Amino acid sequence: MRACRIGVPLWVVAAIVATGCSSSPGVRRSVAHNTSTTSNAPGAAGLRLLAERRGLLLGTAVNDDALQREVDYRDTLATQFSMVEPENVMKWDAIHPAPDRFDFTAGDRLVAFAREHDMAVRGHTLVWKNANPEWLERGRFTRAQAITLLRDHIYEVVGHYRGEIAQWDVVNEALDDAGHYADNPWLRAIGPDYVPMAFRFAHDADPHAELYYNDYDIGYPGRKAAAILALVTALKHGGTPIDGIGMQFHLIPPAVDLRRIAEQMRTFADLGLSYAITEFDVPLKLPATGSEQQMQADLAGGVLRTCLAAPNCRTFNLWGFTDRHSWVPQHLAGYGAATPMDMHLRPKPAWQALRSELTA
């Protein structure tokens, strides 16, 4: 299989595989010096403490069902990570299911867990073309109505969590693979101006939260990467309150070009933007062999090492930490084993690679 592009989202990965390829704000909570570990080495420090020593927020997307029901999942989450991110429960369809109703139940549960365990929270996501309720997708809104709806949603959600969420994915995947604006209710009703509007609304609702544009296919040269760079450059130079770029890394082995990823990090640093790795996993063809697991480990270690070497990369988020709860098997036929822990929360070579880079 050829080396695939980085950051491929779940609705694109399957098509690619079919062709053979594919410093936080004041709200950040201090990370507890927890010496619990999932390592096989007796007395070794957990990843959370090792990451803290390197000035890195090490996080993961969180499955809400597991958070409620699985003690071992909760324990590992609390001891090994310093940041949590909702997998789905803060998306529009979950948090704003009806025009006149918000449901913060699941989001509040995650934030309460983070507060209890002295963890930072990354909010995901305020504006996206997917995971929208039917009333929003099918609604016919004037430009003024759409602006009011967007503003009120962001004010309500960000305001509800004001002071609790360190980083927000404000706009997610605004551009398609060709670098054009992707169709969504906001583009249809408002036009491209919805992007800077969303950032201004989020900043108004919580001036202390870091605000990110999140997308995929940034790490390699091409139309998409060039369009994203042009977009965030225009936002930054236009005075939009944007603090960073979020990069999705759903990697399929065998390789990525770490040098080019480092170059991209420097490019955004030159703009004064943080670079957050927001969705990291490495899907493997099942059944995964030992050599494939080693390739997964090499990718995990290499990307983390590249991040640690970049002054503007201080966030590294897994998209799930155990194969027990991973989006990959349900959305990518024949693939799985994408996370650094197996179904029983036993560390895999990728976990040890992360540990090695944090202790290097």
d(CA 140, CA 264): 39
Q: Of these residues, 173, 210, 292, 357, which one is catalytic?
A: 173
Cα-Cα-Cα-Cα torsion 30, 31, 32, 38, nearest 10 degrees, comes to 170
Single out the residue of 110, 116, 104 nearest to residue 86, CA to CA: 110
Report residue 354 CA to chain centroid gap: 17
| Catalytic residue list contains 116 | no
Q: Of these residues, 52, 164, 210, 279, which one is catalytic?
A: 279
d(CA 117, CA 82): 9
Under DSSP, the state recorded for 343 is T
| Catalytic residue list contains 87 | no
Helix, strand counts (H, E) of the chain = 15, 10
d(CA 96, CA 106): 12
Sequential DSSP letters for 170-218: EEE--B-TTSSBPP-HHHHHT-TTHHHHHHHHHHHH-TTSEEEEEESS-
Active site residues: 173, 279
